[in-house]
Amino acid sequence: MSVKLGLLALLDEQPMYGYQLHTTFKERTGDTWPLNIGQVYTTLARLERDGLVEAAGDDGDGHQIYALTDTGRAELSQWFATPVARSDRPRDELAIKLSVALTVSGVDVREVLQTQRTATLRDLQDLTRQKAAVDEGDLAWLLALDSLIFQAEAEARWLDSCEERLLKKEVRR
Amino acid sequence: MTLLELRHVSRIHGSGASAVTALNDVSFAVQPGELVAVMGPSGSGKSTLLNLAGGLDTPTNGDVLVEGVSLGELSSRALAAVRRRSVGYVFQDLNLLPALTAAENVSLPRELDGVPLRRARTEALATLERFGLSDVADRFPDDLSGGQQQRVAIARAFIGERRLLLADEPTGALDTTTGESVLRLLREQCAAGAGGVLVTHEARHAAWADRIVFLRDGRVVDETGEARRPNGDAIATGGRS
Ligand SMILES: Nc1ncnc2c1ncn2[C@@H]1O[C@H](COP(=O)(O)OP(=O)(O)OP(=O)(O)O)[C@@H](O)[C@H]1O
Ligand SMILES: [Mg+2]
């Protein structure tokens, strides 16, 4: 997900100032999406330049409040209507690494697989721990965590199937 | 006290040319409060490990200790008592008794413990309620869905504060949210001081455990997390929090 669209979605709920946006973004995505306050301000500046948000006064304490424009709202609907292409996620390194490991002599591919599996399962444990601590009412955050959990699970299953293929190949030899 | 300990445990089925080494020099321990998942390909020895841990099978070599007691040194009567009082099982093939209702299946271990019938039934109904099964208490296993049977089998393992819970693929026939609620309960039971071993091939379910042990060809090949000391501290320092 692009940070830009994430911020637009939050501004669609209510106009906010930069610091508020930063806090809300972190609340919604946990720490799974690193974003610093500086990025929030530069993104807001770019969004304003492109006419997607506009300044909407201050909060009385001198904080500049931003609101979504109609163009911004249209961009947001467009985003929700478009599926995310899997190729947008730079996860292919692993597939490449395994294919390469198969052809390089002296590399124990099952070890490579196991190392990856342990790492993936650790991530999965971390995510599950976060999920166990989430209040049932916080549906948005639960859904986001579930998505990450199912992605990690898919990777683990893919690793299992790689190992099965590898075993079949060894048996045939 | 360490709830479960396997010390250099091996299990060989058969002998001579047809011998199968199901488990090969496996050591591992479960402390109170800990849930450990065991993963591995089919035939890697997961069920064998669980059966040995619960005293349903005897190792060819090595020792199995439940709450500090070596099972190999017990008379068959004493062993039966440990199995009944300390250990709750969920088997891969469930093992519900078809002639008993769900409530009777769940209360049976308590009756065998010598708990009066009425109290055993009250406990069974309370346990069934925790698993969202109050409605099916008086039905027979054949009249339950696969998922309901599975939850009854798990309820039976949980009744009577058993300290060591051993579960072999307990979430097989359950949908995502029901499977998850079962794992939450297992997790809570362990947080309350029990110890659990969960055999599963689903990474998403194993992730509820404190530690995941990977078996391959009867050996432990890797682990996530750190083994705990009996006092609850992690042995290794540094690394992940
Ligand atoms: N009674 C037996 N006699 C001979 N071999 C056995 C016996 N029980 C198990 N084995 C063998 O021991 C090995 C480990 O079996 P085990 O049932 O522990 O595997 P598992 O990891 O639980 O597999 P699955 O995921 O399929 O349930 C297998 O090769 C199996 O064929
Ligand atoms: Mg098995």
Helices (H) then strands (E): counts for chain B:
7, 10
Which of B203, B208, B222 shows the shortest C-beta gap to A157? B203
Domain's final residue, options A65, A87, A109: A87
**ipTM for the whole complex:** 0.75
Closest CA to B61 of B19, B101, B25, B110: B25
Orientation angle between helical segments B146-158 and B117-130, nearest 10 degrees: 120
In this structure, the answer to whether residues A112 and A161 fall within a common structural domain is yes
What is the CA angle B230-B236-B238, rounded to 5? Answer: 135
The stretch A70-74 carries a mean pLDDT of: 92
Domain of residue B212 covers 4-86+162-225
**Does the residue B102 lie in any domain?**
no
pLDDT value of residue B114: 85
pLDDT value of residue A5: 80
pLDDT value of residue B240: 36
In this structure, the answer to whether residues A47 and A102 fall within a common structural domain is no
Could you tell me the CATH number of the domain that includes residue A59?
1.10.10.10
Closest CA to B52 of B42, B65, B37, B43: B65
- Distance from the Cα of A20 to chain B's closest Cα (Å) equals 29
Residues from chain A contacting residue B175 (CB–CB below 8 Å): none
In this structure, the answer to whether residues A64 and A19 fall within a common structural domain is yes
**Does the residue B112 lie in any domain?**
no
**Does the residue B172 lie in any domain?**
yes
The stretch A4-15 carries a mean pLDDT of: 86
**Does the residue B45 lie in any domain?**
yes
Per-residue pLDDT band for B7 (boundaries 50, 70, 90) equals very high
Judge whether B26 and B221 are in contact, CB under 8 Å: no
Domain's final residue, options A87, A110, A138: A87
In this structure, the answer to whether residues A118 and A135 fall within a common structural domain is yes
The stretch B119-137 carries a mean pLDDT of: 91
Ligand 2 mean position, distance from CA B92 (Å): 7
The stretch B26-47 carries a mean pLDDT of: 93
| Contact call for A124 and B202, based on CB within 8 A | no
Q: How many structural domains compose chain B?
A: 1
Tell me how far apart the alpha carbons of residues A89 and A142 are, in angstroms, rounded to a whole number: 21
Per-residue pLDDT band for A102 (boundaries 50, 70, 90) equals low
Phi, psi of B73 (to 5 degrees): -95, 0
In the structure, which protein residues have their CB atom closer than 6 angstroms to any atom of ligand 1? B 13-14, 20, 22, 40, 42-48
Token duo for residue B56:
């349903």
Which of A114, A125, A153 shows the shortest C-beta gap to B214? A114
Closest residue by CA, ligand 1 atom 5:
B13
- Distance from the Cα of A88 to chain B's closest Cα (Å) equals 24
Terminal CA-CA length for chain A: 45
Q: Tokens 């659990």 correspond to what residue?
A: B196
In this structure, the answer to whether residues A62 and A96 fall within a common structural domain is no
pLDDT value of residue B8: 96
In this structure, the answer to whether residues A103 and A36 fall within a common structural domain is no
Q: How many CB atoms lie within 10 A of CB B82?
A: 17
Domain's final residue, options A52, A87, A122: A87
**Does the residue B110 lie in any domain?**
no
Residues from chain A contacting residue B41 (CB–CB below 8 Å): 160, 163-164, 167
In this structure, the answer to whether residues A63 and A139 fall within a common structural domain is no
pTM score of the predicted model: 0.76
In this structure, the answer to whether residues A66 and A99 fall within a common structural domain is no
pLDDT value of residue A103: 64
**Does the residue B190 lie in any domain?**
yes
In Å, what is the CA distance from B44 to each residue of A75, A147, B116, B135, B226?
52, 30, 42, 38, 22
In this structure, the answer to whether residues A123 and A59 fall within a common structural domain is no
Res. B241: pLDDT tops 50: no
Edge-first strand order for the sheet with B69-70 is B20-30, B4-13, B61-66, B69-70
Average pLDDT over chain A reads 82
Q: How many CB atoms lie within 10 A of CB B196?
A: 26
Q: How many structural domains compose chain A?
A: 2
pLDDT in tens, A117-138: 898 899 899 999 998 888 777 8
Beta-bridge partner residues of B28: B6
The secondary structure of residue B74, as a DSSP letter, is: S
Res. B125: pLDDT tops 90: yes
Domain of residue A25 covers 3-87
Contact with chain B for residue A12, Cβ under 8 A: no
Could you tell me the CATH number of the domain that includes residue B190?
3.40.50.300
Hey, what amino acid is at B161?
Answer: E
Residues from chain B contacting residue A134 (CB–CB below 8 Å): none
In this structure, the answer to whether residues A68 and A96 fall within a common structural domain is no
In this structure, the answer to whether residues A37 and A15 fall within a common structural domain is yes
Per-residue pLDDT band for B145 (boundaries 50, 70, 90) equals confident
DSSP E strand boundaries for chain B: 4-13, 20-30, 35-39, 61-66, 69-70, 87-90, 164-168, 195-199, 211-216, 219-224
% of residues, chain B, pLDDT over 90: 50
Average pLDDT over chain B reads 87
Tell me how far apart the alpha carbons of residues B65 and B192 are, in angstroms, rounded to a whole number: 21
Tell me how far apart the alpha carbons of residues A103 and A108 are, in angstroms, rounded to a whole number: 11
- Distance from the Cα of A109 to chain B's closest Cα (Å) equals 14
In this structure, the answer to whether residues A95 and A62 fall within a common structural domain is no
Residues from chain B contacting residue A127 (CB–CB below 8 Å): 207
**Does the residue B168 lie in any domain?**
yes
Contact with chain B for residue A147, Cβ under 8 A: no
